[in-house]
Structure 1
Amino acid sequence: MAEDRRVRKSKKAIKNAFIQLLKEKNIEYITIQQISDLADVNRGTFYLNYEDKYALLEEMEDEQIEKIKSFADFRKLDINNQNAETFIEDFSEKIIKNVVRHISENLEFYQIIFNLERKSKIEEQIADIVRSNLMHLIGNKEDVFGIPVNYYLSYVIGSMMSMIKYWVSDHEQVSIDEFVQYISTIASTGPLSIMKRLVDEKREK
């Protein structure tokens, strides 16, 4: 038990050190010695836990993904006994807000991970979670009201990830509730409907 605590403490120190170094330089230029020195552990301790810095990054990403998977699942919502409007409210409150809150609680990590020069594994995994949830609703259909499924998924996933990444890096970041409301409004109303309202407003002036 004491050994387990020591291992957890060492791994936590290594991860914290890695995060701090990633804030300062590209992952390619970070050495195991730098991580070990900042974490106050020896190189042997690092290699007892991780094959290299990429294995370390992968474990950190996997930990975040597992947390998101634990509460980002459409199947936990009672779709059969809801209309579309109440489902959107339920989805926003129980899934989107939980995901955004999780990201907010680990903001420094996500700020760094979304700014890596390469596309992060976690970004791909979040996209897969969104895709899996949508496919649960779509089922075996080849299109969504005339739109081929892959085109529909590409648009929804791309716009969702873009909004999340923008919010994470925004220096004037709005609150979690405001951000969730933005996502819900755009998702339920649609960008073109919003554009139509803007055009109507201009014509009325």
Structure 2
Amino acid sequence: MPKVDRRIRKSQEAIKSAVTELMAEKNFDEITLQDISDKADVSRGTIYLHYEDKYDLLDKLIDGHMNELSEICQSVSDLDWKESIIPWFTYLEHNYLFFSTMLASKGATQFRNRLVEYLSEDFKEEVHLSQARKSGLSEDVILQYVVMSYVGVVEWWLKNEMPHSPEVMSEQLGALIKMNLG
């Protein structure tokens, strides 16, 4: 992969930060490219050099974070539930504004859907191998229960301004998942 010029990377980061900050203030549909341009202190032309429109910008912003979460999951795949969740919550903590904005914004329901879809894929194997399915429960129902519970806990944690450390969240969520998946 070619190395990205420092000025380009700086402009892209300013644009991404600007759209996240603006979404914390108002609905995504109300945000204009001029708003993003002003907040990022770049020209609209600079935005168009990197993104087709504000929807492409949002998609790429979401893709970037989903890719990071995926890399975290792959790097901790050999750890137990409790230990594997700490890096996830640490990443959420470091990117609090983005995730809290995405999960709270009416204009970003696609993010929540993408998160649910991602977690469904990630947890599918665990549910398939779980003891819970031996009890006669549907794997689809178990998967939905675990994924929606996980997303709900993440939303609660962010909405309440992270009242517990990533380690505490990992310990508690890991215990709950293990209890449900056997």
Q: TM-score, normalised by structure 2?
A: 0.85
Give the share of equivalent positions with the same residue, in percent: 27
Task: Find the counterpart in structure 1 of residue 124 from structure 2.
Answer: 135
Q: Deviations over 1:28-47 (max 9, x none)?
A: 11111111112111111111
- Superposed CA RMSD in Å reads 2.6
Counterparts of 1:49-198 in structure 2, within 5 Å, are 49-73=50-74, 76-77=77-78, 90-93=80-83, 95-118=84-107, 120-139=109-128, 144-145=133-134, 146-171=136-161, 173-189=163-179
TM-superposed deviation, 1:138: 4.5
TM-superposed deviation, 1:172: 6.2
Q: 2-side partners of 1:6 and 1:172: how far apart?
A: 33
Query: Is residue 49 of structure 2 the alignment partner of residue 44 of structure 1?
Result: no
Q: 1-side partners of 2:128 and 2:72: how far apart?
A: 21
Q: State the secondary structure of the residue aligned to 1:144.
A: helix
8 A contact 1:96–1:180 mirrored in 2: yes
8 A contact 1:17–1:38 mirrored in 2: yes
Gaps of 5+ in 1: 78-86, 191-205
Q: Tell which has more relative contact order, 1 or 2 (C-alpha 8 A, sep 6+).
A: 2
Deviates more, 1:171-180 or 1:117-126: 117-126
Q: Deviations over 1:112-154 (max 9, x none)?
A: 000111453333333233322332235599x812111111111
Give the structure with higher Rg (CA). Answer: 1
Give 1:40's aligned amino acid: D
8 A contact 2:73–2:88 mirrored in 1: yes
8 A contact 2:128–2:139 mirrored in 1: no
Cα pair distance change 1:47/1:4, threshold 3 Å = same
Q: 2-side partners of 1:180 and 1:116: how far apart?
A: 25
Q: 1-side partners of 2:129 and 2:82: how far apart?
A: 25
8 A contact 1:62–1:122 mirrored in 2: no
Q: 2-side partners of 1:136 and 1:72: how far apart?
A: 13
TM-superposed deviation, 1:71: 2.1
Q: State the secondary structure of the residue aligned to 1:76.
A: coil
Gaps of 5+ in 2: none
Number of residues of Structure 1 aligned to a counterpart in Structure 2? 177
Q: 1-side partners of 2:169 and 2:93: how far apart?
A: 11
Q: TM-score, normalised by structure 1?
A: 0.76
